[in-house]
């Protein structure tokens, strides 16, 4: 009888809230869109944040983004490492990969690449660098690569690659416009919106408007503007940081980080503070803090996502 009473009492005890239930909204989102959080236009943009004038050049026939070569074996792919924005001293070239993990893949190809100077009118002219390699066959454990060094002088260049067979027949020709620009640092933190309401998702991304690479992870912190000061507040999403390392190349945006505002999140002025690193060899890396302000309005507000935040005069990050 005593045992039965104890069991009955245990069954009547209130169940502890499950962390899986508490965070089910976040987990469902992560499982559905782990990289773009349901907003590919912001988190996986097709266009750079700064193209340094490349969009004004005549279009060229670029290699397939997938790397697939329609004339070759399905296990062989081509990746172009062509910037498109390079700092003086950086290289441009290609990687030829094989996913045949069991044997060699015969190719009998010759690959030729070159860099041509582009004049102010956008026309390609003088060849300033060239290379060539023969690829009788390829293995998965040994990639084929060939890189060239463009001139260090800032300007526009055209990178070209030709693939021919050993009989001299042209199989494919691809091109890509590139820009050599002076090395400088211009890192910013962008948000998908400026005005939010409780329950919304805040997306942030590192944006590189310079030519030096930016390294970062997912972690960030939140500050609220209270009593004429910025103060750190606890992360309202209470999520663990994922241990990934990202980077933003010249003119591009880095991988997104997300913050889900609880439905009872208080209105006010906030900002995200994110630490990034600037590789500066040979002296090692240097850390910087980027900030992006945003406003949380009351759910009854008629403001839209395009409404500009009404920020008071606030001090900059020390």
Rounded Cα–Cα distance for residues 300 and 289 (Å): 34
Query: In sequence order, which residues have a C-beta less than 8 Å from that of residue 65 and are 6 or more positions away?
Result: none
pLDDT at 306: 42
Any idea which of 63-77, 148-162, 251-265, 289-303 has the lowest mean pLDDT? 289-303
Query: Two tokens at 147?
Result: 């890189």
Any idea which of 26-35, 167-176, 177-186, 261-270 has the lowest mean pLDDT? 26-35
pLDDT at 281: 58
pLDDT at 298: 87
- Closest residue by Cα to residue 233 from 244, 241, 245, 225: 225
- Closest residue by Cα to residue 148 from 82, 96, 54, 85: 82
SS3 228: coil
Query: In sequence order, which residues have a C-beta less than 8 Å from that of residue 263 and are 6 or more positions away?
Result: 198, 199
Q: Which residue has the tokens 């690659």?
A: 161
SS3 6: helix
Query: Two tokens at 254?
Result: 């880095």
Whether the CB-CB separation of 177 and 156 falls below 8 Å is answered with yes
Rounded Cα–Cα distance for residues 54 and 3 (Å): 79
Rounded Cα–Cα distance for residues 312 and 152 (Å): 45
How many residues are recorded in the chain? 318
pLDDT at 279: 83
pLDDT at 240: 66
Confidence of residue 70 (pLDDT cuts 50, 70, 90): very high
Rounded Cα–Cα distance for residues 184 and 80 (Å): 24
* Structural domains of the chain, ranges and CATH numbers in brackets: 25-47+184-296 (2.60.40), 54-180 (2.60.40.2550)
Whether the CB-CB separation of 212 and 296 falls below 8 Å is answered with no
């Amino acid at each position: 009888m005593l045992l039965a009473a104890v069991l009955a009492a245990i069954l009547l005890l209130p169940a502890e809230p499950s962390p899986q239930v508490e965070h089910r909204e976040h987990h469902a989102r992560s499982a559905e869109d782990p990289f773009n959080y349901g907003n590919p236009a912001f988190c996986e943009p097709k266009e750079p944040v700064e193209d340094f004038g490349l969009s004004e050049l005549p279009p060229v026939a670029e290699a397939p983004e997938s790397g697939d070569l329609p004339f070759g074996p399905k296990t062989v792919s081509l990746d172009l490492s062509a910037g498109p924005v390079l700092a003086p001293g950086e290289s441009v070239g290609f990687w030829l990969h094989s996913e045949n993990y069991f044997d060699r893949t015969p190719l009998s190809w010759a690959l030729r690449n070159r860099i041509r100077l582009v004049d102010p009118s956008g026309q390609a002219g003088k060849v300033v660098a060239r290379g060539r390699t023969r690829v009788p066959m390829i293995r998965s454990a040994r990639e084929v690569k060939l890189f060239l060094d463009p001139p260090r002088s800032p300007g526009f260049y055209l990178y070209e690659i030709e693939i021919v067979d050993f009989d001299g027949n042209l199989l494919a020709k691809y091109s890509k416009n590139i820009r050599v620009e002076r090395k400088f640092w211009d890192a910013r933190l962008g948000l998908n919106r400026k005005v939010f309401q409780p329950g919304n998702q805040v997306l942030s991304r590192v944006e590189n408007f310079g030519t030096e690479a930016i390294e970062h992870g997912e972690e960030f912190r939140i500050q609220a503007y209270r009593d004429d000061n910025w103060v750190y507040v606890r992360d309202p999403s209470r999520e663990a940081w994922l241990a990934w390392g990202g980077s933003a190349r010249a003119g591009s945006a880095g991988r997104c980080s997300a913050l889900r505002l609880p439905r009872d999140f208080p209105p006010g002025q906030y900002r995200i503070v994110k630490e990034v690193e600037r590789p500066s060899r040979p002296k090692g890396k240097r850390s910087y803090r980027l900030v992006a302000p945003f406003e949380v309005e009351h759910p009854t507000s008629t403001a839209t996502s395009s409404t500009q935040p009404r920020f008071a005069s606030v001090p900059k990050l020390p």
